[in-house]
Amino acid sequence: MEQYVEEVAKKSTGKHWALFFFWTIAMMVLMFSPYGQWFWLLLPFVVTEFAKAMDLL
């Protein structure tokens, strides 16, 4: 009886972590600027990159 081993390809998430930190910093800068009420427009980018960095998507 042969046993089949499924190889799981390890994905590189470094790019997504870098983009997550970039968007998070951009959101914080926008939050404390005179246009702070618009910080929520960057939330989709922050959340999406976090999910990709955690390999949830």
| 32 lies in some domain | yes
| 29 lies in some domain | yes
Whether this model's pTM surpasses 0.85? no
| 8 lies in some domain | no
Nearest alpha-carbon partner for 27 in 16, 39, 38, 18: 39
Cα–Cα dist 50/36, whole Å = 22
| 45 lies in some domain | yes
Q: How many domains does the chain have?
A: 1
- pLDDT beyond 90 at 5: no
| 9 lies in some domain | no
User: Are 21 and 42 in contact, with CB atoms under 8 Å apart?
Assistant: no
List the domain range (segments joined by +) for residue 46.
14-53
| 23 lies in some domain | yes
| 3 lies in some domain | no
User: Are 42 and 23 in contact, with CB atoms under 8 Å apart?
Assistant: yes
| 2 lies in some domain | no
Question: Tens digits of per-residue pLDDT, 7-38?
Answer: 556 778 899 999 999 999 999 999 999 999 99
Say how far residue 54 (Cα) sits from the centre of its chain. Answer: 7
Q: Which of residues 4 and 22 earns the better pLDDT score?
A: 22
- Say which DSSP state 28 is in: H
The reported pLDDT for the residue numbered 11 is: 76
The reported pLDDT for the residue numbered 50 is: 96
The reported pLDDT for the residue numbered 34 is: 95
